[in-house]
């Protein structure tokens, strides 16, 4: 408690990370941030992928980027100037990645300054969209996190690389260094195709949970709607008719503590008409 008797403001920091690239981190960051905002939280989502701006495209705000994360770190813009308000939700903001080719543009102190600044602005959640791998950018994205969403695809190489990330999360974060207790780890299985699992071409939910030793917080099916949504600049969670969008809604609800059964993990049974007429 502070002297005024109020709790100091503090945002919950969630990193969306993975071992391998191209597994669905940015897709997940956009939908998670949007889902939290839909639940009434004040949310900022930050693109940590220096040199490879992508989140602003998926959020549909690329034409409004004037200042970016690195500008704020270097003091060339204030956080308020750099935050882009989402066009659909007043309580959702995007901080775009820099296009600079200087991979060292982000520093630990710089990132800390931006996260503290966001906390002071009264954000409830800060979602950090991590670049791939275990290099500096990915370390910086996870270092200050309270929670992690580890995105994994149902294939051996992706699962193996996630194992390494889970290890880093429990040792190389500020919480770990300060002995503040472990960060919450959520495993999110994306691009899941039950038909291919049934054919033995992909790992099942159970396989992945057994190999990594943690339960999934959600399973997002492989869906054409994801690319269509990205191309339209609309996070897929807003596509209520798509299975992927519904699965993201379930996932956000679970992260907020709700109990919901998994869906879309079995091969869809065809209806009577489909069986008779095909399709
Ligand atoms: N559930 C899904 N179904 C189909 N395609 C997906 C799904 N999730 C992600 N993708 C596609 O996979 C590619 C990589 O996704 P992205 O979110 O950019 O991954 P990352 O940020 O991990 O590199 C994109 O083309 C995206 O449209
Ligand atoms: Mg990405």
In a domain, 169, yes or no: yes
- Say which residues have a Cβ less than 8 Å from residue 16's Cβ, sequence separation at least 6: 25, 28, 29, 32, 127, 128, 129, 130, 148, 149, 151
220 lies in a domain?
yes
Determine what percent of the chain is predicted with pLDDT higher than 90.
Answer: 81
Work out the pLDDT band at 101, boundaries 50, 70, 90: confident
Q: Tell me the CATH number at 171.
A: 3.40.50.300
Q: Kindly report the pTM of this predicted structure.
A: 0.94
**Is residue 83 in some structural domain?**
yes
Both tokens of residue 258?
């709700």
Task: For residue 16, tell me if it sits in a domain.
Answer: yes
Q: Which residue has the tokens 């300054």?
A: 113
Per-chain residues with Cβ under 5 A from ion ligand 2 = 25-26
Alpha carbon 107 to chain centroid, angstroms? 21
CA-proximal residue: ligand 1, atom 15 (nearest): 24
pLDDT digits (tens, 9 = 90+) for 38-88: 999 999 999 999 888 899 999 999 999 999 999 999 999 999 999 999 999
Instruction: Give domain status of residue 271, yes or no.
Output: no
- The number of the ligand 1 atom at minimal distance from the alpha carbon of 49 is 21
Helices 224-232 and 243-255 meet at what angle, rounded to 10? Answer: 80
Q: Is the pLDDT of residue 99 over 90?
A: no
For 221-262, how does the pLDDT look when each residue is reduced to its tens digit (9 = 90+)? 999 999 999 999 999 999 999 999 999 999 999 999 999 999
Paired tokens of 197:
């699992």
Two tokens, residue 40: 């009434």
Ligand 1 atom closest to the CA of 23, numbered from 1:
22
Q: Assign 123 to helix, strand or coil.
A: coil
pLDDT band per the 50, 70, 90 thresholds, residue 1: very low
Domain region containing 165: 12-262
pLDDT value at residue 181: 83
- pLDDT at residue 279 greater than cutoff 80: no
Q: Which of 24, 131, 158 to mutate to test the pocket of ligand 1 (most atoms within 8 A of CB)?
A: 24
Closest by alpha carbon to 16, among 178, 113, 125, 120? Answer: 125
- From the CB of residue 268, how many other CB atoms can be counted at a distance below 10 Å? 11
Q: How many domains does the chain have?
A: 1
Locate the ligand 1 atom nearest the alpha carbon of residue 54 and give its number.
Answer: 18
What integer is the mean pLDDT of 83-99? 96
Query: What confidence score (pLDDT) does residue 216 get?
Result: 98
User: Within a domain: residue 267?
Assistant: no
229 inside domain: yes
Residue 242 lies in a domain: yes
> What is the crossing angle of helices 205-212 and 156-169, to 10°?
40
Mean pLDDT over the full length of the chain = 92
């Amino acid at each position: 408690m502070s002297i005024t008797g109020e709790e100091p403001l503090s945002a919950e920091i969630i990193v969306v990370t993975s071992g391998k690239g191209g597994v669905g981190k940015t897709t997940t960051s956009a939908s998670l941030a949007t889902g939290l905002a839909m639940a009434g939280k004040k949310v900022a989502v930050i693109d940590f992928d220096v040199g490879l701006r992508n989140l602003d495209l998926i959020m549909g705000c690329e034409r409004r980027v004037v200042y970016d994360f690195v500008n704020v770190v270097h003091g060339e813009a204030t956080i308020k100037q750099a935050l882009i308000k989402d066009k659909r939700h007043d309580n959702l903001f995007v901080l775009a990645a820099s296009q600079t080719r200087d991979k060292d543009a982000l520093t630990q102190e710089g990132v800390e300054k931006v996260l503290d600044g966001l906390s002071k602005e009264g954000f409830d959640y800060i979602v950090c969209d991590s670049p791939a791998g275990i290099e500096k950018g990915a370390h910086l994205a996870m270092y200050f996190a309270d929670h992690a969403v580890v995105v994994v695809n149902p294939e051996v190489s992706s699962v193996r690389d996630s194992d390494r990330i889970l290890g880093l999360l429990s040792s190389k974060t500020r919480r770990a260094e300060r002995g503040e207790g472990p960060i919450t780890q959520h495993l999110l299985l994306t691009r899941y195709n039950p038909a291919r699992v049934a054919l033995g071409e992909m790992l099942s939910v159970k396989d992945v949970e057994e190999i990594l030793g943690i339960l999934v917080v959600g399973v997002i099916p492989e869906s054409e709607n994801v690319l269509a949504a990205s191309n339209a600049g609309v996070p897929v969670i807003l596509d209520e008719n798509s299975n992927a969008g519904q699965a993201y809604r379930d996932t956000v609800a679970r992260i907020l503590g709700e109990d919901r059964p998994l869906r879309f993990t079995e091969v869809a049974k065809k209806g009577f008409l489909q069986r008779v007429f095909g399709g």
